[in-house]
Amino acid sequence: MKVFALLATLATGIVLLYGTRDFAPWGDPDSPANSHLSRVYIERAVEETHVPNLVTAILGDYRGYDTMFETVVIYCAGMAVVCVLRRSRS
């Protein structure tokens, strides 16, 4: 059983390492992740929101829906833990 798990893990690792051949090298300023949308965020965030911390600006403003439903997710997690575990003192 453990041998199969090890084989599956190794196979997944090899496939992923094969996939990294197409990735940009580390720290490349012109990699696809750094060149399209994030450029616009970096250039416009300060003048549109007056917040110097770009992470906060994107988190609270541009991706506001993301953050809002994330608060809902963590709230639901807390309520779920209370519902699953809480026993009233009897």
Residues that bind another protein (CB under 8 A): 1-2, 5-6, 8-10, 12-13, 16-17, 20-21, 23, 25-29, 31, 33-34, 37-39, 41-43, 46-61, 63-68, 70-78, 80-82, 84-87, 89
Q: What is the dihedral of CA 53, 55, 60, 63, to 10 degrees?
A: 140
Nearest approach, Cβ of 56 to another protein (angstroms)?
Answer: 5
Nearest approach, Cβ of 33 to another protein (angstroms)?
Answer: 4
Nearest approach, Cβ of 35 to another protein (angstroms)?
Answer: 9
* Alpha carbon of residue 38 to chain centroid: 15
Main-chain dihedrals φ then ψ at residue 25, nearest 5 degrees: -65, 165
**Which residues neighbour 67 within 8 Å (Cβ) at sequence distance 6 or greater?**
59, 60
